[in-house]
Amino acid sequence: MGEQAQARKTGMTFPQNLSERSWERIGTNLRELTNSSAWWLGDWLIFGEAAYGWRRYREAVERTGLDYQTLRNYAWVARRFEHRRRRESLSFAHHAEVTRLSPAEQDYWLRKAEQQKWSRNELRRAVRASLAEQSEQSEQAGIPPSGDGAGKREAPRPAERPDSADEPAPQVTTLTIELSAGQLDFYSKVAAAHGLPVDKWVTQVLDAADRRTA
């Protein structure tokens, strides 16, 4: 009965006879509280902005005493993850590490972090290493970097091909490629990094190879 910590707004006091196991449990609970509060604040801000408008969002800064950018970050991460996609075994910081990825990539890396019991920093290193590898492989394949206009080809105007009516229609061939589940998962991630579905990314790779051998 005597082994109870006392929490106040300005701190926490502990009895001298507090067991190590109780001390560890308190730390775990505090960690979960900190993690949950970030989600709670993010959801609170999203609701306030949707229900009451931007002015309420500004008032939230004054009410919480937190700086504007911190609150914006909480809301941004919360907005990127629907409740069903949030993993209780991972921290808010884990989710924040993958917010810039596509939803499919987010789920992939969070699942890996959960399975491997990665810390936030371990997840960050793994994601960065993967993106660097994808970028290197894309450069070797001759694929232009993703961005405005990357990978887009402008169709020629009719005036540039006056004899087009006399040309036979191009033949279309269907190519079937068998991939293992692991290969498909890897190529899908590479394609997503370039903002393309996997079929269009494969087409770009084949076109680049054809130009090099022409």
User: pLDDT tens digits, residue range 78-115?
Assistant: 999 999 999 999 999 999 999 999 999 999 999 999 99
Q: What gap in Å lies between CA 50 and CA 75, rounded to an integer? A: 12
Write the DSSP string, 104-154.
HHHHHHHHHHHHHT--HHHHHHHHHHHHHHHHHHHHHHTPPPSSTTTT--P
Q: Which is it for the CA torsion 164, 168, 169, 173, positive or negative?
A: negative
Specify the pTM. 0.59
Check pLDDT > 70 for residue 136.
yes
Check pLDDT > 70 for residue 168.
no
Cβ-contact 110, 87 below 8 angstroms: yes
Q: What gap in Å lies between CA 54 and CA 95, rounded to an integer? A: 25
Check pLDDT > 90 for residue 70.
no
pLDDT value at residue 206: 65
pLDDT value at residue 60: 72
- Interval 65-86 mean pLDDT: 89
Q: Which of 52-61, 136-145, 161-170, 171-180: highest mean pLDDT?
A: 52-61
Write the DSSP string, 146-166.
SSTTTT--PPPPGGG-TTGGG
Element (H, E) at 13: strand 11-13
Lowest mean pLDDT among 16-20, 52-56, 59-63, 197-201: 197-201
Cβ-contact 105, 98 below 8 angstroms: yes
Q: Which of 138, 116, 142, 114 is nearest to 193 (CA)?
A: 138
Percent of the chain predicted with pLDDT > 90 = 29
pLDDT value at residue 114: 95
Q: What gap in Å lies between CA 58 and CA 71, rounded to an integer? A: 10
pLDDT value at residue 149: 37
Q: What gap in Å lies between CA 98 and CA 76, rounded to an integer? A: 12
Match 């009410």 to its residue by tokens.
Answer: 63
pLDDT value at residue 10: 82
Of the two residues 83 and 139, the one the predictor is more confident about is 83
Check pLDDT > 90 for residue 44.
no
